[in-house]
Amino acid sequence: MTFLFLRMSLASIRTIIAIAALMLPLGAMAAAPALPQRELASAVTIERAPVVIDGEALFQLRGISSHPAKQRADQVAERIRAIARDESVPVSELRVVEAQERSEIRAGERHIISLFDGDAEAEQFGHRHQLAEFYKAGIAKAIERHRHERSGAYLQAQGIHAAIVIGLLVALLFAMRWLLRWMEGWVERRFQSRLKELEARSFKLLSVDELKNAWHGGLRAVHFVVGLVLVVACLNYVLSLFPWTRYVARRGAALFIDPLETMWAGLVDALPGLVFIAILVVVTRYVLRLMQLFFSGIANGTIKPAGFEQEWAWPTYRLMRVAVIAFALVIAYPYIPGSDSEAFKGVSLFLGLLMSLGAASMVANNLAGYALIYRRAYKVGDRIKVGDVVGDVLEMRQQVTQLRTVKNEEVTIPSSLILNSHVINYSSLAREKGLILHTTVGIGYETPWRQVEAMLIEAANRAEGLLREPPPFVLQTSLGDFCVTYEINAYCDRPQEMAKLYTALHRNILDLFNEHGVQIMTPAYEGDPEQPKVVPKDQWYAAPAKAPGGK
């Protein structure tokens, strides 16, 4: 079979040479010597087809444009089968009859095949008579085999043989099933304690049940694969015992063997590329490890580059890690098996399209997260305000920032939303210069402004948690129609306690203004009441309030 296919390849090369010669310029064609008619006919004949009897290829025949090779081979095979079915034609009547331009193989007076000089040259025989004798011997063996394999004794023996093989297969499958159950029980008894120890070492990441399921699944997979191989091999062998199914058996074997051969050949061809990729993976891992050690030193404070903030260490490492991995993938891409195929390119394009359409918001949030980190708009622990949300920063990620509000609510805000919003950071300057808390009151024109400012400053000084230095101060923000608007400003260094400090400041303002009999005229004023709207001091602790000391 291999010899015949090699001969076909040689004929193909000759055909290509002939076609190339026909494509030469006219001048070169005129100068070149003309090919002999017989050689030219042999050069342009490229089509071949095997003559198959009961799944066995006897020989191959060439074809021409008017008589294709497959049609010629099928006709010869049908003549051989017809003679083999006719028991009245003995094999001894096979003979070679020479004519002027051909050699014929006949069975008695029945024509089987005509061979020409071109056939002998294609098969590299000196004369067509030698080729005819060679083909006659093959045809004789095929006829004898065809008649023998259809005899009652042969079919009976092969039937018994097939029944024995099938019985052995069934027994072997039952034995494998029993062996599988025995191995599962043996492994469970033998390694029960070790499985518990492995579960403890894995910090409960793997349970004993999961390990058992993994082991049993592996055994069942091996059992299934071995059983499948045995069934396929037995079926293929049984089908090859009978002449009518032998072709199906060989085609079935090819369905399993050809893909394995193709995969093995592909693996061998791709082995240098796979070795290169493995070395590239190792080098990339070491480069990433060195980068991680360097940025870990920056994060811990042991390495202090000039102008590089400590909190930038891990975000910068993640960016550089993506860049290194992307660069490694670009280098490795030509060495990936199948990377030059149209299917691989199509799948890559499809996945890239899906990523571009489905991951747009994710990419935007990632970029916004890095922008916020390098801008240093806030950090973990700061109290900030984003839109209408005020809270302390719990965690900063590339895509989101988590806040805990003053009502102990956890709010997750996308980085892209933060980047496009106004962010107020109450903590950034509070550590060094202090955060200014401020509130306003409206007081009538009949009250001296110096008295009002003194009371407001005193209220700020009484509030525990507000700073004495820098001292609080008062601004007169407006002269309204009915009152003067005063704004008290006081410093604090604890922005997380803003609500508590505001409450203390407001309480002190109410107490001081009530103590001095000054009416607060906000939020609205329509006319002077008969009595000032103040709370007498003896009613400051009206029930159910309790005065200090329990009085």
For 117-150, give the DSSP string.
HHHHHHTT-SSHHHHHHHHHHHHHHHHHHHHHTT
Q: Say yes or no: 96 and 173 in one domain.
A: no
- Domain end call among 195, 215, 244: 244
The enclosing domain of 460 has a CATH number of 3.30.70.100
Burial (0-12, 13-18, 19+ Cβ within 10 Å), 120: buried
Q: Say yes or no: 17 and 116 in one domain.
A: yes
User: Which residues on adjacent β-strands are paired with residue 437?
Assistant: 490
Distance in Å from the first CA to the final CA of the chain: 116
pTM of the model: 0.44
Q: Answer whether residue 249 is part of any domain.
A: no
**Four-residue CA torsion sign, 283, 286, 292, 294:** negative
pLDDT tens-place string over residues 28-56: 333 333 434 444 344 444 578 888 887 78
pLDDT of residue 201: 59
pLDDT of residue 16: 38
**Neighbouring residues of 313: CB distance < 8 A, sequence distance ≥ 6:** 295, 296, 298, 299
Q: Say yes or no: 232 and 172 in one domain.
A: yes
pLDDT tens-place string over residues 270-303: 888 889 999 999 999 999 999 888 888 888 888 8
Q: Is 502 helix (H, G, I), strand (E, B) or coil?
A: helix
pLDDT of residue 474: 94
Q: Say yes or no: 14 and 143 in one domain.
A: yes
499 phi and psi angles, rounded to 5 deg: -65, -40
Q: Answer whether residue 105 is part of any domain.
A: yes
* 414 alpha carbon, distance to own chain's centre: 26
Q: Is 66 helix (H, G, I), strand (E, B) or coil?
A: coil
Q: Answer whether residue 22 is part of any domain.
A: yes
pLDDT of residue 73: 87
Q: Say yes or no: 137 and 162 in one domain.
A: no
pLDDT in tens, the chain (551 residues): 333 333 333 334 343 333 333 333 333 333 333 434 444 344 444 578 888 887 788 888 888 777 888 888 888 888 888 888 888 888 888 888 888 888 888 888 888 888 888 888 878 787 888 888 888 888 888 888 888 888 888 888 888 988 999 999 899 999 988 988 888 777 777 666 666 666 555 555 555 566 677 777 888 888 888 888 888 888 888 888 887 877 777 776 666 777 777 877 877 888 888 899 999 999 999 999 998 888 888 888 888 888 777 777 877 888 888 889 989 988 988 888 777 777 777 777 777 776 666 666 666 767 776 777 777 778 888 888 888 888 888 888 777 888 898 888 888 888 888 877 888 888 888 777 888 999 999 988 888 899 999 999 999 999 988 988 889 999 999 998 888 899 999 999 888 888 899 999 999 999 999 888 888 887 566 666 666 667 677 777 665 556 776 55
Q: Tokens for 124? A: 């590299």
CA dihedral defined by 311, 313, 317, 319, rounded to 10 degrees? Answer: 50
**Neighbouring residues of 113: CB distance < 8 A, sequence distance ≥ 6:** 61, 76, 79, 104, 105, 135
pLDDT of residue 211: 64
Task: Give the residue from 174, 176, 170 showing the smallest Cα distance to 238.
Answer: 170
Q: Which residue has the tokens 């996308």?
A: 414
Q: Say yes or no: 47 and 74 in one domain.
A: yes
pLDDT of residue 31: 34
For residue 383, what is the enclosing H or E element? strand 383-386
User: Which residues on adjacent β-strands are paired with residue 403?
Assistant: 393, 411
For residue 13, what is the enclosing H or E element? helix 2-22
Q: Tokens for 551? A: 């009085």
pLDDT of residue 161: 87
Query: Can you tell me the distance from the alpha carbon of 440 to that of 486, in angstroms, rounded to the nearest whole number?
Result: 5
Q: Say yes or no: 12 and 116 in one domain.
A: yes
Q: Based on the structure, what is the number of domains in the chain?
A: 4
The angle subtended at Cα 365 by Cα 363 and Cα 367, nearest 5°, is 70
- Domain end call among 183, 217, 244: 244
For 150-189, give the DSSP string.
TSHHHHHHHHHHHHHHHHHHHHHHHHHHHHHHHHHHHHHH
Q: Cβ distance 45 to 73 under 8 Å?
A: no
Query: Can you tell me the distance from the alpha carbon of 436 to that of 451, in angstroms, rounded to the nearest whole number?
Result: 22
Q: Cβ distance 413 to 442 under 8 Å?
A: no
Q: Tokens for 395? A: 């965690």
Query: Can you tell me the distance from the alpha carbon of 428 to that of 441, in angstroms, rounded to the nearest whole number?
Result: 28
- Domain end call among 122, 148, 174: 148
For residue 264, what is the enclosing H or E element? helix 246-300
Q: Say yes or no: 385 and 449 in one domain.
A: no
Q: Which residue has the tokens 């009085």?
A: 551
Give the number of other CB atoms < 10 A from CB of residue 473: 16
Q: Answer whether residue 358 is part of any domain.
A: no
Q: Answer whether residue 288 is part of any domain.
A: no
- Domain span at residue 415 reads 363-425
Query: Can you tell me the distance from the alpha carbon of 51 to that of 63, in angstroms, rounded to the nearest whole number?
Result: 12
Q: Answer whether residue 320 is part of any domain.
A: no
Orientation of helix 37-44 relative to helix 2-22, angle to 10°:
110
What is the DSSP-derived secondary structure letter of residue 520?
B
Q: Say yes or no: 61 and 176 in one domain.
A: no
Q: Say yes or no: 144 and 6 in one domain.
A: yes
Q: Answer whether residue 512 is part of any domain.
A: yes
The enclosing domain of 380 has a CATH number of 2.30.30.60
Query: Can you tell me the distance from the alpha carbon of 430 to that of 436, in angstroms, rounded to the nearest whole number?
Result: 8
Q: Answer whether residue 222 is part of any domain.
A: yes
| b/e map 362-374, b = 16+ CB within 10 Å | eeebbebbbebbe
Q: Say yes or no: 464 and 407 in one domain.
A: no
pLDDT of residue 202: 53
Query: Can you tell me the distance from the alpha carbon of 433 to that of 132, in angstroms, rounded to the nearest whole number?
Result: 111
User: Which residues on adjacent β-strands are paired with residue 375?
Assistant: none
For 436-494, give the DSSP string.
EEEEEEEE-TTS-HHHHHHHHHHHHHHSTTS-SSSPPEEEEEEE-SS-EEEEEEEEES-
pLDDT tens-place string over residues 162-204: 899 999 989 999 998 898 888 877 777 766 666 666 655 555 5
Q: Say yes or no: 382 and 503 in one domain.
A: no
